[in-house]
Amino acid sequence: MSEIIAATNGAQPPFKPITRDAELKRVAEQLEATFLSEMLKEAGLGKTSESFGGGAGEEQFASFLRQAQAEEMVKAGGIGLAESLYEALKERENGN
């Protein structure tokens, strides 16, 4: 409640710094989403149909759709690649 009052008084809400672990996790999830997007592309998702296709616009924006779908897949648990990447990045950062 006090955050709402502070926001209406022009004061800034409390700043929550991003931890290094959270940043590594975010990067790992982005890498998994990019990987999944490429796999969806190779599987033919978003490929324009020969007849009744959306034309050039559909082709240009298909990559955005694949990326959004891949990001949702990662949010739903993905294929476990993000967790493996996160652990590898964390281990490397710790010097192990």
What confidence tier does 51 reach under pLDDT thresholds 50, 70, 90? low
pLDDT of res. 52: 64
Query: Is-contact 78 40, C-beta < 8 A?
Result: no
User: What's the predicted TM-score (pTM) here?
Assistant: 0.71
HSE-up of residue 39 (Cα within 13 Å, Cβ side) = 12
Helix axes of 81-93 and 20-42: crossing angle, nearest 10 degrees: 140
How is the chain split into domains, by residue range?
18-93
Q: Give dist(CA 93, CA 95) in Å, integer.
A: 5
C-alpha to C-alpha distance for 60 and 66, rounded to whole angstroms: 11
For residue range 59-73, list pLDDT tens digits in order. 778 889 999 999 999
Read off the pLDDT of each residue in 70-89 and give the average, rounded to a whole number.
95
Residue matched to tokens 């694949």: 66
First to last CA, the chain: 44
